[in-house]
Chain A
Amino acid sequence: MNVSIILIILLFGALATYFAGDKLAKTVALVISLASFVASVAILNQHNAGISSDFIYKWISNPNIYLASKVDGLAIAMMLLTTALTTIIVWSSFANQFKNAKGFYALVLFMSFAMVGTFVSADAFLYYIFWELALIPIYFIALVWGNGDVEERKRAIVKFFIYTLAGSLFMLTAFIYLFSKAGSLLIDELYLLRLTEQEQFWIFGAFFLAYAIKIPIFPFHTWQANTYQLSPSVGTMLLSGIMLKMGLYSVIRWQLPLAPLAAKTYMNIFLVLSIIGVVYGSIVALKQHNLKKLLAYSSLAHVGLIAAGAYTLSLDGLRGAVLQMIAHGFVVVGLFFAAEIIERRLNTQEIAQMGGIRILDTKFASMFMIVMVASVGLPGTFNFIGEFSLLYSLYNVDIWYAVIGGTTIILGAVYMLKMFQNVMLGEANAKPFAAITLQESLVFVIIIAVLLFFGLYPKPINDLITPALQEIVAKINRV
């Protein structure tokens, strides 16, 4: 069995969902996404047993393009993250009533398909197609099913679409250049290229524009807050939980090993930008009135730290980055789900209109609280492991990077506790708040279980990703 099975499940699953009709769509989507997760676990088992799950087919002979995959531990981890989160996200939306549900859920699965494709592709052309393909469903999900004023939404979502697309074009240019040098776009052949420092500089820069916008890295983040706010929660979760990891993953898979000289020469620039994002995102989050926007800026801060870890070019940094990508994926989905639960009941995202929810629903309050303390990296949660490795890797570059990046543990507590106080604590609001349903709490339970289990025992993920990352570090250090 090779990894294409997951792509096939998701692609045909998207079609099946569409043809299942509005009534059945969400159930079918759930079954399909769950099947893709189970298949990913099977691939994991195969990998652990030492059997390759790769595929390679000749696609176009001139130019020389393959349908090829590279399923190492890193790709498997990202694939597991994508399929697990897609399942959770689909399930979290069961209480929602979407117009044209069949289209909606088909797009969700299609997006998952494209994202998995991005993570496993080993041919730059295929990778690029998946990369761009992932943008289309989220564009429609946000535009058609989003909330808020239609004109405002259109402006924000179109901006997001064109902005990220424009960034990607630079990456395409880089790939065309690389193809002209290597005569192939297979990643392993591109790794073999001996590029001059000058060439690497331009390629690194072109990649950076694509990834910095996607991740996003300060100051390329301006699409983020509005898009998160105006997308339906499912869209926000897909974007923040998985899609932004495409950018971070690509830094590790493509940017650093393809242009290691440039990475080493200019790493401080990118470290500084990433760390500015950490502090800047945290500070802007302090004064947000909209819950989803606040979470968007907190996400900016968190991914800034992840990106910084990756740009340390060290094993600790890369490993911390991957661990934190996974932890952040779960935590951010949990946070946006909490926002969604509140929005379902109070019909608002404005923090000023919330408050006193804890009295009305202590169970929800407890679960929200656990996810929140995970997001501020409390030891014992998964997020601490990543944050610890990341900050340690920064320390090994320069103590000031660790200190300034580390302010996230203070500022994160400031804006998160303030948010929690204003949203959940205080006297009961006059507005009714229906108790959290069993289905909603189960979504939380799964997320919390993941965060706590890997917080105590991250070894399985460690063992999975470390060999792949060691290989990448070796490639970065090959010159």
Chain B
Amino acid sequence: MSINLDQAQQTFIVEAREQLQAMEESLLQLESDPGDDDAIGAIFRAAHTIKGSAGLFGLEPIVSFTHIVEDVLDRLRNGSVEVDAGLIAVLLKSSDHMLELINVVANQGAKLAPPALAREMELCQILQEYQTPSPVQAPKAAEASDPQAPAETRLWHIVLRFGPEVFRNGMDPLSFLRYLQTLGEIIHITTLTDAMPSAETWDAESCYLGFDIEFSSAAGHGAINEVFDFVREDCQIQIVAIDDPVPPMNTGLVATFQEQDDPNTAMVTTGQLMPDQRSAARMPAQVTPDKQPATSDGKAKDGAYVRVNADKLDELINLVGELVIASAGASLLARHCNDDSLQESTSTVSGLVEEILDGALRLRMIPIGETFNRFRRVVRDVSQELGKDIDLIISGAETELDKTVVEKIGDPLMHLLRNAMDHGIETAEARLAAGKPAKGHLHLNAYHDSGSIVLEIADDGAGLNRDRILEKAQERGLVAPGASPSDQEIYNLIFEPGFSTAQAVTNLSGRGVGMDVVKRNITLLRGTVDLDSQPGQGTVVRIRLPLTLAIINGFLVGIGQSTYVIPLDMVQECIELSEDDGVCSREQGYLDLRGEVLPLVYLRDHFNHEGPASRRQNVVVVRYAELKAGLVVDDLLGEFQTVIKPLGKLFGALRGISGSTILGSGAVALILDVPALLTQIAQTDNRYTTPPLQQATVR
């Protein structure tokens, strides 16, 4: 029978990678807490599962290597091997190697490269030291009982006497007989009812039957015997070849059966296996019942999951986006019709659509923890490489964000972490000299903050060298000679293109990892990055990312005939700008907001809208990170579910606009890039940067 297992093999590859990831996490856990039995159980289970599944697909290289690893893990589990640094190291390397083997399978048949083979030999050798003195041979072939093939059909006499327990064991005697028929033909069958008790003592759940079968088959004794494997324990079975096809079919049958103790010459009893098996079967009953029942997996994996192709989800979210637009259109029409019941029903629909939207977006949200955990290994390896003792502390792992964001944030985070370890955290000696604990700490944290998610990478190293950065920036003309930027602005200069590649500018540079690349990657995700540093205390890099890339809650504002969308999460309040105030604040460029200076951006001017401003203007107070400003607009139009459509490449140079959306009326509204607008204000205020304000023109 050929069954196509290609698809299942794909599942295996995905699953094996996950298992290895889990194995690595548990290994690191075990390293920090060598007595953690749960971790050992989880590691063993991972290797065990991979081996078992690989066998199903006949992936011999994986099976044989994993077998050795599993063997060592088994010894670890039952306590005959102790956890030590060397063992953890070799197991981590083994898990790397297993991943490599799996990648070979994923790449369809490509052979393992010679260096990898050499590595495997080396690993096996090290692993062997942890193995049993008499190493277990490689797993035997699945079934070795096939050499016989007596093609000729023979007649067999089978006497079966099922034990009273068979029904209770879930066995149906009839199904065995049916299965027997797949091997040959039952020529005659007699039911033996002599064990049936009288009606009073008769138990409906017990089996009292026996069968006497005459069976013609080409199968050998072993094959027929195998049919009854599952019932052998509580049944009496005799399988005898009748070479002389003379059926002595009468009373003698039962008698023969009862006389089975007799060493009957013609009979080959199959019961020879029984004594061992029976005694062996009883032993586990005395064994203490399962010492560690199901170790909980650390994270809550209790819920049932459905694996869905990401493309399908994207498609769904796109459709929901269209649905949102369509339902906004319907609501608009309903309002024009002045039909109450129609309006009511469209508003119900809008409500539901919004819920569907939320639900659909939530489908894409995954916790950041998995990405964070991946770094444990990186931190461990890099710190060993550098000869530094560094501890990684993770918090906020359950914070969820969009899958796409999670996937793309891994590399920038990795750069930042490596930089922090390489250049941020000092050597143990330097740390001790500075009066700090010898062990360095890295802290990865994630949390939600006003509509965005913040990822923090903090180290307790030496911090940035402010003067050197400033010096370098002035040299490169990034800072006007007389300007006195704030510390934070100076630190953020290292994200400027080409800045960090200069030799030894800061203790965060080097390795050819441009911080500008990190910044660019984050900007592509509509996020921002900034940095804070205390000399001698450490550095914190903060990455702010939008929760989702597809849809935002928007706040609609009007300027003249145009409509703009401000992300609602960033809107703090709206205030009316009276005419008198307006003149005054227009000259000053800021507004007195309850005693606070609020810089204003006149969007009408910013986007070069023609025509007179309306008499009554409004200020929308927006906040992003630590920056706050007022956007002056003509009309406030209310909330709006905004499906983000990217702007074409043509508009790539536009600053202050992050995308567009389609309103229910079919008109296009531009989405304001509030962070960019706010940064522009900050820059013009300080006037130390040279690039002039680029003004976008929109008609």
A binds B: no
Q: Which positions in B face A, CB cutoff 8 Å?
A: none
